[in-house]
Structure 1
């Protein structure tokens, strides 16, 4: 997912016959834009992942990479500008207005649409977060252009078209979608699908401040406040370095304690495959896979998970995948780096005990010495 390709793929077979000349009003659309999402004053990490991917696409197209920042005047927005250049943007389009302090669909759609109409990008990328999905759909609808959602791969064809690849038919196939005759070409990408690029000390470059105005009276939605979700163990699987996950092979909900204990022992987080969410054993925010979270941990331990393609899509970016399953022919062994044919219910306590001994203070001291 998100792998770099040295050569642009040729136009898809049969697509050339469908493509018409790009309408006159779209022929001067150029450059690649990445929407920089601010989440409670912080830049969402998916924005940096998209800047890395946007850099590659912009270089293939021979155009500039721009970050797009919408927010209130102040430190968070200024910090986002600095970070956009640190992750290799060539320029930044900035709209600073108090109305953009908290996300509301109407002002954000209006501001981003106005930017697109004024400055004409050929590619616009957004994170497939709750905010990004809401904003991307309304902007694409307003602009009457195409949008490919939840992409797992982006590339540029030999004719300069954006090739946006995403799972289809329940994850059993991958399809590549093109926006042939409209601009901008829009796509959303889920967090952790693309690798995190290296941050540099690149200085702040050209910032285009866009004048945009909208009255509060024009906005139907009002922000009254924010309520806690009340979850004491809120999952942050997408950015965990170590993840332990379980599937139907665990047999019963009580055995999820084995996962939690191992995750706690090695300082990781825990999750599950979709069937466990469907059974009500775990909440949706801990589901890993195509319809759940995409993860890229340094270590992923899958216990009792068969490894269907829907799950594979969400985990194959991990540095090291360790699979535990009683079935030696389980699909997960096709892409795991280490396979253990064993009963996860018996193996997990043994693994946790081994890690406990290995990570004990006395052993750590002996290793250092």
Structure 2
């Protein structure tokens, strides 16, 4: 992941070859071609989700799990004891089959709201994952430099250098990232005092995008719920769709804008009242721009150079450990 730009410098032909079949169903070949062009230029890409189409079949959920299974944590037990116990143990390793909320092993789930529209009860299903904010506070406020954002709009947590301190979760307006204890760099450097694991969330299948393919959830959806493309085009399509159904948009301005854009036939404040919320189950409330506040701006400016040094150290330490391990020596 250190040279993500080179991995995602894919040709338009490669993108079309990898995703053409799914693209015809999802967004049309021309949309995918424009998405490919945006990727080549390093421009942000976004996803439009027409939740009026979602039937909660969970094909996207299981496609996500299959595509990302090799990234899931494999914790070492017993876990180190933390002093002080300020960072609680979070262990999902015996609950990997859970699909009704976000966990370190489940980065996408279907949130359901039952609402009344014109006197008729209606079920709305909402695929939920990381919103991939335009200006992500999880990235800007990570003190270890483990969270990063690429030019194409993907925000990702580098599990190789994350210490699991959950600053990203605290900064996220939707509290998306989830921790797994007993895995990651903290086991090597400060197992009793560091962050107690690694944080996990959707990374938009960066490995598939790098190969010129669609994200697994987009590719697998049988109902054409999702469309991927350049953000400016996705925003335009979202407004056209909302106008055609007399609907509503979420994600365009929330938290300063995101790269996950929902369109619904039902107001999102009504959906927010109807969905189950809590740990691993994000809200659909209005969200002000977290990075527009003076405190967060100042904190981000102070953290940026420190996070860069910390991330460099983390990568150096990881490489050193790998070299020592390969040679049979000790660090």
The structure whose Rg is larger is 1
More relative contact order, 1 or 2 (CA 8 Å, 6+ apart):
2
Q: TM-score range by the shorter chain?
A: under 0.3
Structure with greater strand percent: 1
Normalising by structure 1, we get a TM-score of 0.20
Normalising by structure 2, we get a TM-score of 0.22
